[in-house]
Amino acid sequence: MPAVVRASRLHWWEPSAPPAGGTAVLLVVAPWSHYDLAMLDVLDESVPGPDRPGEAPPVFVANLERYRSVEELTADIPILESFPFQSPIAALWRDGAFRNVAWGKAGRDLVADALDLPPEAFNEQVIARTPRYSPSPDRTSHVGA
């Protein structure tokens, strides 16, 4: 996952080197979540490239699997006060400290707001990019047979 993120317009999160100032967004994503991965694709297309720095805050990405406990997660995001029950976890960094945190749809909305994107349109793009699965028409359920 780090190599894919580094090859995009997004940034891989290094806890030892948080942004010094300004505004940034940290997204902790579940690599098994199609919604989270679709969101990263939409963000990669939405944030300005290196040829237009300063137009939007940088978006940093971390893998939820690297955290083995909520204590490890709160070590990176100290304002997190309870266990997040959904991914992604989004945290807004401003002037040297985290200022806001949310998860699930509220986390996606936080990211959209930070990047000055309409939240509903952003969520619709994420949902449209999310793969859908349905059983093939020739398969029938044999439950209870």
Q: Does any domain span residue 135?
A: no
49 — phi, psi (to 5°)? -80, 180
pLDDT of residue 47: 86
Q: Does any domain span residue 15?
A: yes
DSSP 8-state code for residue 13: -
pTM (2 decimals)? 0.84
In our burial notation (b when 16+ CB lie closer than 10 A, e otherwise), range 17-43 reads eebeeeebbbbbbbeeeebbbbbbebb
For the chain (145 residues), the mean pLDDT of every run of 10, in chain order, is 90 79 91 94 85 77 92 90 90 89 95 93 92 67 52
Largest pairwise CA distance in the chain: 63
Contact 67, 88 (CB under 8 A): no
Domains in the chain, number: 1
CATH of the domain at 18: 3.40.30.10
Q: Does any domain span residue 41?
A: yes
pLDDT of residue 107: 95
Q: Does any domain span residue 141?
A: no
The residue segments making up the domain with residue 106 are 2-129
